[in-house]
Structure 1
Amino acid sequence: MITTVNYKDKLKQFMIILLPILVTQIALSAITFFDTNMSGKASSTDLAGVAIGSSLWIPLQTGISGILMGITPIVSHLMGSGHKSKVAYQIIQGLWLALVLALAVMLVGVLFLPIILDGMNLEPQVRYIAFHFLGYLSIGIVPMFAYTVLRSFIDALGKTRISMTITLIALPINILLNFLLIFGYWGFPRLGGVGAGVASAITYWCVFALAIFFVHRVKPFAEFNVFRKWYGLSLKAWKELLKIGVPIGFSIFFETAVFAGVTLLMSRFDTITIAAHQAAMNFATTLYMIPLSISMTLTILVGFEKGAGRLKDARQYAKLGISTAVLLSLITAMVLLLFGRFVAGIYSDESIVIELTQHFLIYAIFFQISDAIATPVQGALRGYKDVNHSFVITFISYWVIGLPVGYIFSEYTNLGAFGYWIGLIIGLIVGATLLLGRLVRVQRDQIIKITSS
């Protein structure tokens, strides 16, 4: 990364880092997108099974990945303050933590997944698909979390094109494996939605292998000698990483888990409603990659400037990121308004599913606008290493306000399944407002601290 002196330079630096992250995030989400989309082409039962499985998996995946993403602000601050020699040690500690967390998640799955699925009112075939989808997917948990650490290191150096390259190589592998294993082409077994889990697991191993190659062999990453010396476990280093990463992880977990919670609560509805809901939610999640990518970019840039003591530049990057996200959210809103039926048709050939999905997509518009403020603000706050308040705000907005309100609308009005979406929108609006207020306060306190010292 370079030091910028004017707004034009900042915009250029912002776009250089953002665009590869955006492509990477879209490609990563495309793995889930194609799992869902291609399963839906197999049957609505396969779509519903993968929907339930994904709803259980994604909160854990994003939450644990969020914890490991604490590596990004740590490395950004080390680079901004000129402590390059300490980076490799932090990466190895992150990999140890990734291994432990992955094994913990797998143990939880073995103990509680059957109980959770048995407690849901699922059709037998939907339950079968959900259980085996997750079972095969678990084969890729360790490499996926380890890749998150390596990717956070790569991105923290501003070399986001490398992450993009890795993901773009892996995506066609996932699509090909889906074709082979979901539909049974070229003599492979026709596994339906279960095949999507196998394909994703293999893809995660490929992504991890590519990341190891780049970090070990390609400059500037090879200069850090990450794998030249293998450090033992350090609880002190874990404490620093967890202090930053846990609030990040829980913030992301609470946000993604509330959407998963809605899907699980909607298991009382018929398979068609579950399939349509998940199709709309999957597309909304794909669009969410835009503000999420901006958020990750702001963590890198704000962290770098904060580490170097350039608070004015950090504030300018935050404003640039938030305004860009809002503008892009308005564009995606127009896309959903004009092409909602076409988008719904991507997920299913059944007319009733298409019609219901299109209705859900209208509500997704309000998701995009709220996320355009809340998500980049969280990224900027992480750059300042201010993560605890985001965690509390996210919990209150989604779980104290959003989900209960959605339940009330769904159960006690004639809105039915759409009531949950209205509740989530209300929670998102509250969260965006509170997070923006927190960012303003943090920036003001930073200025007061500098002027008084």
Structure 2
Amino acid sequence: MSFYRRARLSRIEAGRLARLALPVLGAQLAQTGMGTVDVAMAGHVNATTLAAVSIGSSVWIPLVVFMVGTLMGLTPIVAQHAGARTFGHIRPAVHQALWIALVLGLASAAAVVAGGPAIFTLMNVPPDVAAPATIYLDAVACGLPAIAVYETLRFFSDGIGHTRASLIFALLGLAVNIVADGVLMFGGPGLESLFGADLPAWLAGLPALGALGCGIATSFSMALMAGALFVYTRRAAVYAPARTGRAWSAPVPALIREQLRIGMPVGVAIFAEVSLFTAIALFLAGYGEVVISAHTVALNFSSVLFMLPLSLGMALTVRIGQARGRGKYRHARFVAWNGVLCALAVAVLIDAILIFGGQYAVRLYTDAPAVQALAVNLLLVAAIYQFSDAAQVSIAGALRGYKDTRLIMVVTVFAYWMVGLGTGYMLGEGWPGLFAGLGVYGYWIGLIVGLSVAALLLGWRLRHTADSRRGGRRPLVD
């Protein structure tokens, strides 16, 4: 194939990938924004409420991350059936995923209610913070089954290529969460200070619920998102081909096992990544508030930018699954590696933002000069690992499209926890008699090493998987 024809096909595929990824990016940012709004509003109530919401979030968010990763296994299944035009298999697959979601949602809710107080005791959380944090968790737990259902329907929608639904209903949840937080957390007094004394009596008399109000608002937003997306998938014309078959299916062990085989390793992998950053924060706890604050600021800003390659990886899952469903294995291979190149191009953009815009971004988080200076330096370190991070997340998305997820889990746990955290701890804490240690910089260098190892190992796996499933010489384009 000539260079010009390959370049033209690359541009076409990049455009298709972008059309899928942009709504996913908006949805990811909107969902992340819900947590940001909770913390920001809690900080305007009082320091105790902020601490309660922050500590409570550290309990339930990792469970939701694991749950979402597990349910993500539905996307390649639906995408492959959509590509093969075997629409009659989609509805039963969605029903089995909903059964899984219900079990995971209820189990997560029970774990949060039962385990929250024990975790607070183990962490020596002060009683004046632990009490509202426990109430907050009890309220959030009510919405966990709903968010599990929402994510299932979202991944179903993504699988058939209608990613705009994710954006629409994530924005709906964000808007509702903002309003509900304001009304329930601040109550009548807060609303009067914002809108004046002419409020209706029923609004002016609302109590300020603080952390409890934040939990109720979060659960209400989750339930509304799930209900609205359920109605939408039942009525919108774009889903009509997938409405073939029975309106409801009982649990089918074989289909549930298939989804868990694909999704469970993804859930473990994502949980391992999230828990890695939590572990690093714990190791840095003894370095003082400047280091902890700078680490949090730099990590938060770089995490927002990470949504760009993450969205490309999720879109790659759809494109590759659909190509495989049509039997175009050679094209699936082209889509995979072209998507990785797109992610690396995005990494260049992210690096430019970190290097040239980092100093301005950190000012949005803090006014402390010492925190700003250290956070800017950490963002420069983060610029080094963007290529590895973009590569590993896009390759992982491609492998999900091939339904090849088990090695993702193995590589992630090994690269992040053994290589990344091990290297970070050794460089950060030092080695007696050899060197004193680099502190927070050592831990961030460990991230570079861990992400690089993950990218190399996953890249080797994608090359093996894509080559072994090409299916002979087939047309390259759809």
Task: Provide TM-score, normalisation by structure 1.
Answer: 0.89
**Which residue number corresponds to residue 460 of structure 2?**
437
Tell me: CA distance 1:196–1:259, structure 2 relative to 1, closer, same or farther (3 Å).
Answer: farther
CA contact (8 A) 1:92 1:226 kept: no
Contact 2:31–2:170 (Cα < 8 Å) also in 1: yes
The 3 A distance-change label for structure 1 pair 400 and 114 is: same
Distance 1:363 1:178 in 2: 36
Q: 1:311/1:340 Cα in 2 relative to 1: closer, same or farther (>3 Å)?
A: same
Among 288, 296, 307, the residue aligned to 1:289:
307
The reply to whether residue 84 of structure 1 matches residue 107 of structure 2 is no
1:170: Cα distance to partner? 2.1
Specify the SS of the correspondent of 1:159. coil
Q: Could you list the structure 1 runs, at least 4 aligned residues long, displaced by more than 6 angstroms after superposition.
A: none
User: Which deviates more, 400-409 or 35-44?
Assistant: 35-44
Q: CA RMSD in A?
A: 2.7
User: How do residues 35-434 of structure 1 correspond to structure 2 at under 5 angstroms?
Assistant: 35-40=38-43, 49-122=52-125, 125=128, 127-128=130-131, 130-184=133-187, 185-186=190-191, 187=204, 189-190=207-208, 195-225=213-243, 229-268=247-286, 270=288, 273-349=291-367, 353-412=371-430, 413-434=436-457
* Post-superposition offset of 1:312: 2.0
Q: How far is the alpha carbon of 1:15 from its aligned partner? A: 2.1
Query: Percent identity at matched positions?
Result: 34
Q: Which moved more, 1:403-412 or 1:315-324?
A: 403-412
Decide which structure has the larger Cα Rg and report it.
Answer: 2
Q: Provide the rounded CA distance (Å) in 1 between the counterparts of 2:245 and 2:56.
A: 35
In 1, distance between residues paired with 2:368 and 2:210? Answer: 17
Contact 1:166 1:210 in 2 (8 A): yes
- Does the aligned pair in 2 maintain the 1:47–1:275 contact within 8 Å? no
Residue aligning to 1:12: 15
**8 Å CA contact retained: 2:79, 2:161:** no
Between stretches 316-325 and 61-70, larger displacement belongs to 316-325
Counterpart contact for 1:78–1:84, Cα < 8 Å = yes
C-alpha distance in 2 between matches for 1:205 and 1:350: 39
User: Do the aligned partners of 1:267 and 1:274 also contact (CA within 8 Å) in 2?
Assistant: yes
Q: Distance in 2 between matches of 1:220 and 1:58?
A: 32
In the superposition, relative to structure 1, how do residues 193 and 427 fare at CA in structure 2: closer, same or farther (>3 Å)? farther
How far 1:19 moved relative to its partner? 1.4
Per-residue deviation at 1:175? 2.3
The two structures have a TM-score, normalised by structure 2, of: 0.84
Residue 299 (structure 1) shift:
0.3
Q: Distance in 1 between matches of 2:241 and 2:259?
A: 23
Structure 1: gaps of 5 or more residues: none
Per the TM alignment, residue 260 of structure 1 is displaced from its structure 2 partner at its CA by: 2.2
Name the CA shift for 1:193/1:75 in 2 (closer, same or farther; >3 Å).
same
Amino acid at match of 2:402: Y
- CA distance in 2 between counterparts of 1:69 and 1:89 reads 16
CA distance in 1, matches of 2:148, 2:316: 22
Total equivalences in the alignment: 446
Other structure's SS at 2:250 match: coil
Q: C-alpha distance in 1, partners of 2:223/2:51?
A: 26
The amino acid that maps onto 1:147 is Y
Offset of 1:392 from its aligned partner? Answer: 0.7
Which deviations, in whole Å up to 9, do the C-alpha atoms of 1:54-98 show, x marking residues without a partner?
A: 333333212211111111111111122221111111111111110
Structure 2 residue ranges without an equivalent (≥5): 1-7, 192-203, 431-435, 474-478
Per-residue CA deviations over 1:16-54 (Å, capped at 9, x if unaligned) read 211111111111122123333444555666555544433
The letter for the 1-side match of 2:75 is T
Cα-to-partner distance string for 1:198-224 (whole Å, 9 max, x where unaligned) = 332222112111111211111122443
The alignment partner of 1:220 has SS state of: helix
Amino acid corresponding to residue 232 of structure 2 in structure 1? F
Q: Does 1:446 align with 2:469?
A: yes
Whether contact under 8 Å (2:24, 2:167) holds in the other structure is yes
Kindly tell me: are residues 400 and 108 of structure 1, through their superposed partners in 2, closer, same or farther at Cα, counting changes over 3 Å? Answer: same
User: Could you give the per-residue CA deviations for residues 266-324 of structure 1, whole angstroms, max 9, x where no partner exists?
Assistant: 44455565444333322222222111111110000011111222122112211222122
Letter in 2 for 1:81: A
User: 150-159 vs 55-64, which deviates more?
Assistant: 55-64
Q: Secondary structure at the match of 2:103?
A: helix
Report the CA distance between 1:433 and its aligned residue: 1.4
